[in-house]
Amino acid sequence: MTADMKSTIAANLSMIDDEIGKMCKHVGREKANPRLIAVSKVQPKERVIAALEAGHRIFGENRVQEAQERWLDLKSDHADLELHLIGSLQTNKAAEAVTLFDVIQSVDRPKLAKFLAREMEAQDRKLPIYIQVNTGKEEQKSGCLIEDLPDLLKLCNELKLDVQGLMCIPPAADDPSLHFALLKKFAKQHGLSGLSMGMSGDYALAASMGATDIRVGTAIFGERNYS
Ligand SMILES: *Cc1c(COP(=O)(O)O)cnc(C)c1O
């Protein structure tokens, strides 16, 4: 890893943290600042190490297998790591997800909730979860539809899942503030305090609108190279 890349990633992290902190202060948020989840999916491992060396400990991944390959050994070296699953989860990966992750942010359907509850019981690992809401009703996107949210929350309650909040990924073409406001409204309606919203392009906006979890990839690590 070049010293350059290492210092760039450290600088990005502290700049974003600063901006989020300033924005929270600006709007008079009283509670603790949101957590900054560094989204490391697809990034080369040395960039992830650079963030770890800069002292960052909260990371997000969207695929179980990729996350296992990357984090299993790093996890044993860093007891204070906090790994968030932020991508869609197949039920046949529920067991592995419960073993590896500390928070599951992408629960979006009854079957998955049931599998996760069973696995958490079997592994005696009760993880906080978020319900992903498809606020933009995009067909290609995961997330539960707004009209299905009450039933899904009811089921999670019956399954004794620890639902901490809601998560959304606004459609790229929309003004994100509309989606953040919707998510906030639904969370409040259901008495949930967690709001996972905001990415590289809109983290300051999300902070100003009450996000408790902000998921930033590119603005910390640089562009993802999918080739
Ligand atoms: C990739 C991803 C992010 C981060 O996106 P950036 O634009 O790179 O900050 C945030 N949330 C989810 C769910 C993602 O899949």
176 lines ligand 1 (CB under 6 A): no
196 CB within 6 A, ligand 1: no
Cβ 145 vs Cβ 120: under 8 Å: no
Q: Tell me if 50 CB under 6 Å of ligand 1.
A: no
pTM, entire model: 0.97
Give me the pLDDT at residue 30, please.
73
Cα 191 from Cα 107, distance rounded (Å) = 17
128-132 vs 103-107, strand pairing mode? parallel
The CB of 63 under 6 Å from ligand 1? The reply is: no
How many Cβ atoms from other residues are within 10 Å of residue 49's Cβ? 14
Closest residue CA from atom 12 of ligand 1: 86
pLDDT single digits (tens) 98-133? 999 999 999 999 999 999 999 999 999 999 999 999
Q: What residue's CA is closest to ligand 1, atom 13?
A: 86
* Cα–Cα distance, 195 to 148 (Å, whole number): 18
Question: If pLDDT is split at 50, 70 and 90, which confidence band does 1 have?
Answer: low
CA–centroid distance, residue 216 to ligand 1 (Å): 6
| Whole-number pLDDT of residue 31 | 66
Structure tokens that stand for 87 in this block: 């991508």
Nearest-atom number in ligand 1 for the CA of 169 is 13
Q: What is the pLDDT of residues 118-175, one digit of tens each?
A: 999 999 999 999 999 999 999 988 999 999 999 999 999 999 999 999 999 999 999 9
